[in-house]
Amino acid sequence: MAAFDPHAAPERWPGGVERTGSVDDLAATADLLSLHLPLTDGTRGLVDARLLGLMRPGGFLVNVARGELVDRDALLAAVDSGRLTGAAVDVFPVEPPPTDDPLRRHPRIRLSPHVAYLSGTSHRAYVCKPAENVIAWHRTGRPLTPVVDPTR
C-alpha cells in the first residue's frame, strides 16, 4: 500500500504505508487509486487524462472526496478505452448528477450517494462524541479526541 500527502509530517506517517514523492508517482504504481483530499485551487481537476494515463492498465479509481477533483470526460474516456477497468464515485460536481450524465448509466462506473457513513450507530456517534468531548474538556481541560495539526 502506498500514499501521498505533502502535508503529513514524517513522524506521523502510518507504519506499513509506502510514502510516494508525488501524485504522479502514486498513480504510476496504483492498481486502485482512492481519493481523500479537499477541493482547492491546486486540486481542482487533479485527476485528468494525463494522470489517468499514468495509472497501470486495468486500474480502478475511487473518488469519495470531491467531485471536481476528477475530470469527468477524462474518466469516461479512460474507462471506455479500457485503460481503467472502472470507477466508484460518491461525489459529483453537481449533486445529484443530472439524469443525462453518462456516469449514471455507464456499466463499469458505480455511483452511490455521499452518505455511506449514515447509520444509526454513526448518527448517535455524530451527536455523542462532540458532547463527550465538551464534558471531558470541562472536567479535565482536555477533550477526549483533540484535533491535531498533522503538519506538526
Query: 2-113 has which fold?
Result: Rossmann fold (3.40.50)
User: In this predicted structure, what is the pLDDT of residue 75?
Assistant: 97
Domain with CATH 3.40.50.720 in the chain: 2-113
φ, ψ at 64 (rounded to 5°): -120, 20
Handedness of CA 93, 94, 96, 97 (dihedral sign): negative
Q: pLDDT of 81-117, one tens digit each? A: 999 999 999 999 888 889 999 999 999 999 988 776 6
Decide which of 115 and 49 is more confident.
49
Rounded Cα gap, residues 111 and 86, in angstroms: 11
pTM: predicted TM-score of the whole model, two decimal places: 0.77
Q: How far lies 55's CA from each of 30, 51, 64, 134, 140, in Å?
A: 6, 7, 18, 45, 49
Which one of the listed residues 19, 56, 106, 114 is annotated catalytic?
114
Percentage of residues of the chain with pLDDT beyond 70: 95
Q: Among 95, 104, 105, 110, which one carries the catalytic annotation?
A: 95
